[in-house]
Amino acid sequence: MTNAAPTASDAKQKAFERIDALTEELLGVSHAIHEHPELGYEERFAHDLLTTTIASAGLKAERSAYGLETAFTARSGPDSGPSVAILCEYDALPGIGHACGHNVIASAGLGAGLAVACVAADLGGQVIIMGTPAEESGGGKIRLIDAGAFEDVDAAIMLHPAGLELFSMTTLAVSQLRATYHGRPSHAAAAPELGRNALDAAVLGYQAAAALRQHIRPTERIHGIFTIGGQKPNVVPALAQTVWYVRSPDARGLADLKPRLAACLRSGAVAAEVEVALDAVALDYLDVISNPVLERLWGQNAAAVGRRPAQPEPGRSVVGSTDMGNVSAVVPSIHPMISVAPPDVAIHTEAFAEHARGPGGDKAVIDGAKMLAGVAIDYLADASLRKAASEAFVAGG
């Protein structure tokens, strides 16, 4: 038979050969990003390195995509067919550098994208390497969603390094809220009756929130701190401020909880006769809805490189929040964890940063590139899998 569409296994063989040939370059990128840690929206070194590498591989990289200076995209394959986006993160943490191992995410995503680019046209689908800045804070993926980056994307995949090999991260939806109370200053001894105390309002709001905590779900969390509380005891505080994190296992729970906290914070202002302004400190991160069809493909492709991911369970999980949750609300997605360190080494520690550029991190870059490429190829090659992934997405799972 001539001109037959290549099978997924033919395409994978070609893609894996490409990844093997790129090994030195991918590890060079991983190490270079690790050695130049950059905070969210300041990832200029990583953005330049990744887009230059993409361009030197013969692909067209769109730099500063969707109006974000350090975002990028690179597309291969026909516009008309199905599309899969492979997401790269590359921001670091203040003080402890690449302690979340985003250098591994960027390099594995790059390798997978370049490899699938070699076979995308044959498969009749499109692969998009998408550089998504500011995961640790700033919600780069949320800004990309708002700018339309996922409108022509059928599925989004990425990996995240960890001390465990897992199908998914256990994520919480999180919202950050700031309450600023404006009262009326007065001499606290000479004319207290003329003052309206912003600190009292903040304290009463805090107490109300503390009472609310008794009546929320055991899986939900509310934490608050005082950031402004007055200048001098003999001046009635005219300004006070509290900052809050609200967490719930899912977006619906978060949507229920946020107005209840807001009502508590406003109640302090009512009691103390002051004004209060509530505003969001950051974009809300939603929980990740892990697509079961893409998860299954992840498991099959992991097995092909000798990895055995497990489902998370109590005591064997990675808990956190990520803006990939917001992506998973708009397209079928996965956010699996690939092991780069021993199980007792947690992400966001200096020890984890060492592993992210050590032998474990390097192996995860190459294995991870093959696993992501394998999932992308399976997805583009099989319409029934795409249909099943979409049906599971619509069903909310």
Provide the binding-site residues for Zn ion, judged by CB under 5 A.
100
The Cβ-side half-sphere exposure at 382, using a 13 Å CA radius, reads 18
Instruction: Decide whether 36 or 266 has the Cβ nearer to Zn ion.
Output: 36
Closest listed residue to residue 322, CA positions, set 347, 288, 349, 293: 288
Tokens of 116: 């699938």
| Token output for 57 | 């591989």
Q: 75 or 102: whose CB is closer to Zn ion? A: 102
Nearer to Zn ion, 238 or 369 (CB): 369
| Choice between 65 and 100, CB closer to Zn ion | 100
* Parallel, antiparallel or unpaired: strands 239-248 and 170-171: unpaired
Distance CA(246)–CA(365), nearest Å, equals: 34
CB of residue 163 to Zn ion, shortest distance in Å: 13
Contact, 137 vs 53, CB < 8 A? Answer: no
Q: Which residue is nearest to Zn ion (CB)?
A: 100
What three-state secondary structure class fits 241? strand
CA 153/CA 169 separation, integer angstroms: 22
**CB 97, min distance to Zn ion, A:** 12
**H or E element that contains 5:** none
* Closest separation in Å from C-beta 324 to Zn ion: 9
**Closest separation in Å from C-beta 378 to Zn ion:** 25
Alpha-carbon distance of 58 to 246, in angstroms, equals 45
Q: Looking at beta carbons only, is 100 or 392 nearer to Zn ion?
A: 100
- Rounded-to-integer distance, Cα 254 and Cα 220, Å: 9
Q: Indicate the residue among 100 and 385 with the shorter CB distance to Zn ion.
A: 100
Neighbours of 227 (CB within 10 A): 13
Shortest separation between residue 177's beta carbon and Zn ion, angstroms: 21
Q: Give the shortest CB-93-to-Zn ion separation in angstroms.
A: 7
Q: 204 vs 347, which CB is nearer to Zn ion?
A: 347
Looking at the Cβ atoms of 100 and 129, the one nearer to Zn ion is: 100
Least CB distance to Zn ion at residue 392 (A): 25
For Zn ion, the closer CB: 230 or 361 = 361
CA distance 392 to 79: 24
Q: How far is the CB of 343 from Zn ion (least distance, A)?
A: 17
Minimum gap (Å) between residue 148 Cβ and Zn ion: 24
Instruction: Tell me the two tokens of residue 112.
Output: 């997978």
Residues composing the chain: 397
73 phi-psi bin (left φ>0, alpha ψ -120 to 50, beta other): beta
Q: Is 341 exposed, middle or buried (0-12, 13-18, 19+ CB in 10 A)?
A: buried
Cα 239-245-247 angle, rounded to 5 deg? 155
**How many CB atoms sit inside 10 A of residue 343's CB?**
11
